[in-house]
Structure 1
Amino acid sequence: MRQWWQQRVPLLRGLVLAGGQSQRMQTDKGRLHYHGREQREHAAALLAPWCQEVFVSCRAEQAAELPAGLQPLPDQFLNLGPMGGILSALRHDPNAAWLVVACDLPFLSETTLQHLVQHRNPARVATAFQSPENEFPEPLITIWEPGSYGVLLQFLALGYSCPRKALINSNVELLQAPVPQELRNVNTPAERDAAQQELAEHPR
């Protein structure tokens, strides 16, 4: 029975969300260096052990500038922020589950991703970590199952383009992060400087 179930679990693809305007950072967050290379490269490398393929969600004009070896997945749902990237991935392969990670999570480790993958529940719409700041799911480090495509489209039709709202109102597997501090995102120059200093003192 376990073998039968495992054979029917949708394969996992990876998606690095790197198509945002980065207005608060005032520079492209995906091109920042925290680990000796662009953050979008680092995030893609973190996803690679768990995913059959890894793509970088980006705007159409960003696709040509990606570092060698990264596969671009230009947004097909425009002006929707992270929701557009997630929906574009699910449209690209609606039969796969997508492990989605934002590019502004420089503290994220393989251990935390392994915990997410090992505790994945394919019978739910998604598997997500609870935000360390509140009881809500964290949508930008989440495994979105194939069934989430229709759910997200329904929310979009109702005028909601927030993936967190979709998670809150859906049947999801909600996990406690093994190291909640790793879910800390970095959005401003001051936060970037602090993160770079912290990671230089305590490299991962």
Structure 2
Amino acid sequence: MKDHKKHRAITQPAYGNYSRLEWALLGTTCGTIKTLAESIINALTPDYRCGYVDAQHTKDQEEPETGRLGAGARLEYTDQITFDQFHFQKPLSTFQFRQIFSEMDAVLVNGNHQQAKAQVVIMDENKKASLQKRIAQLTNVQLILLADNADSAFDFVQEAIPVWQEIPLFRLHETGKIVSFFQKQLKNATPVLNGLVLAGGRSLRMGQDKGAIAWHGKEQRYHVADQLKGLCQNVFISCRAEQQASLEEGYATLPDTFTALGPYGAILSAFREQPDAAWLVVACDLPLLDTATLRYLVANRAVSALATTFESPHDGFPEPLITIWEPKSYPVLLSFLAQGYTCPRKVLRNSEIHSLKPLNPDALLNVNTPEEVEKAKQKMT
């Protein structure tokens, strides 16, 4: 019998237990781990969003079983003025953790209590026996640190990690080197940038296919794709499934799999195809869009933000159809969809984004009607 798969497989994001980039710090006391994590997070925070995972199992520091949770509430939220606090009266699954931490660039984990897909191992003679019990957790060690009482990686660590000598090794007090390690890891993990030309609309107001108008000597969808080729790793023309066969073979296509949702569905379809890539999304109704504007957007890309976009010169709102959408925006877009919203601008207006003033306001001019075509032609002369 042929193998039967009940559910269709789709590309999964490269998550660990909490995030795409996560490290468990283990091998020493919880206090030392917390201090180290604070130093790393403090140094990374200006450029990256960091999360931290820990556990507290001592009885005298547990929340008393009184109040709303004790009365039976499953979830309690408190506005603490300088921060927000949630209490859950239920265990959270890996899937829920990933959703909560989805906007983090890096998550540090107290490895004495929880695990992560990468590890930073500390050689501390006082916790040697404890580390040996966790040897099976050393599945992807990326950094080794030596406490003051250790001179090298322990024998059992060397046996468990044959390539241990190829792993960076610092003293625990060498904070600068440790921070530089994490900065390099985050920089190397910058998501690749793909281009997506939105050409799947039905152009009802225009009365003809906007993507087929030859503003610059060739159909606009191909002109925009050519503009993006020098800025993106891969460039795709987003289209409806029935359009795919009619597009030129020299251009990669990406048909909508979230149908009847307009640009929103096109963006989601792109993330469904490559969820770990960032997508520079450009509409095909911007005839005055110049390469300098696109280069400026890419040069000022803020990887830590949900998206990098331009402020519309017309209403001051973010312009969603010439925007770099980072991978962390994928679950946010899906969550808005689940609440009944299919407006990408609404997502941007209610998220932490990086907004730029356009170099050339006319470059963001949308042309959707025959009347607007004439106005654009006047500006082009």
TM-score calculated relative to the size of structure 1 = 0.95
Measure how far apart 1:72 and its partner are: 1.0
In structure 1, the partner of 2:363 is: 182
Give the 3-state SS of the residue equivalent to 1:141 in structure 2.
strand
In structure 2, the partner of 1:127 is: 308
Measure how far apart 1:155 and its partner are: 0.2
Measure how far apart 1:193 and its partner are: 3.0
In structure 2, the partner of 1:7 is: 188
| Map 1:66-145 → 2, pairs under 5 A | 66-145=247-326
In structure 2, the partner of 1:27 is: 208
Quick one: which amino acid aligns to residue 11 of structure 1? V
| Distance in 2, Cα, partners of 1:163 & 1:47 | 21
| Distance in 1, Cα, partners of 2:344 & 2:265 | 10
| Distance in 1, Cα, partners of 2:220 & 2:378 | 15
Quick one: which amino acid aligns to residue 316 of structure 2? E
Measure how far apart 1:4 and its partner are: 3.8
Q: Percent of aligned positions with the same letter in both sequences?
A: 56
In structure 2, the partner of 1:151 is: 332
| Distance in 1, Cα, partners of 2:272 & 2:289 | 27
Greater share of residues in helix: 1
| Distance in 2, Cα, partners of 1:52 & 1:16 | 14
Q: Deviations over 1:82-102 (max 9, x none)?
A: 000000001110000000000
Answer with 1 or 2: which has the greater Rg: 2
Quick one: which amino acid aligns to residue 287 of structure 2? P
| Distance in 2, Cα, partners of 1:3 & 1:44 | 32
Quick one: which amino acid aligns to residue 285 of structure 2? D
| Distance in 2, Cα, partners of 1:9 & 1:148 | 14
Measure how far apart 1:135 and its partner are: 2.0
Residue among 182, 195, 198 paired with 2:376 = 195
Give the 3-state SS of the residue equivalent to 2:230 in structure 1.
helix
Measure how far apart 1:195 and its partner are: 2.1
Distance 1:183 1:71, change over 3 A: same
Quick one: which amino acid aligns to residue 191 of structure 1? E
Measure how far apart 1:70 and its partner are: 1.1
Whether 2:245 is the aligned partner of 1:64: answer yes
Residue among 217, 221, 225 paired with 1:44 = 225
Measure how far apart 1:192 and its partner are: 1.6
Q: Deviations over 1:4-35 (max 9, x none)?
A: 44311100000000001100000110000100
| Distance in 1, Cα, partners of 2:279 & 2:334 | 16
Measure how far apart 1:157 and its partner are: 0.2
Answer with 188-197 or 168-177: which moved more. 188-197
Quick one: which amino acid aligns to residue 185 of structure 1? N
Identify unmatched segments of 5+ residues in structure 2. 1-179
Q: Deviations over 1:17-64 (max 9, x none)?
A: 000110000011000010000000001011111101100110001001
- RMSD over equivalenced CA pairs, Å: 1.1
Give the structure, 1 or 2, with the largest relative contact order (CA under 8 Å, sep 6 or more): 1
Identify unmatched segments of 5+ residues in structure 1. none
| Distance in 2, Cα, partners of 1:47 & 1:185 | 18
| Distance in 1, Cα, partners of 2:185 & 2:334 | 30
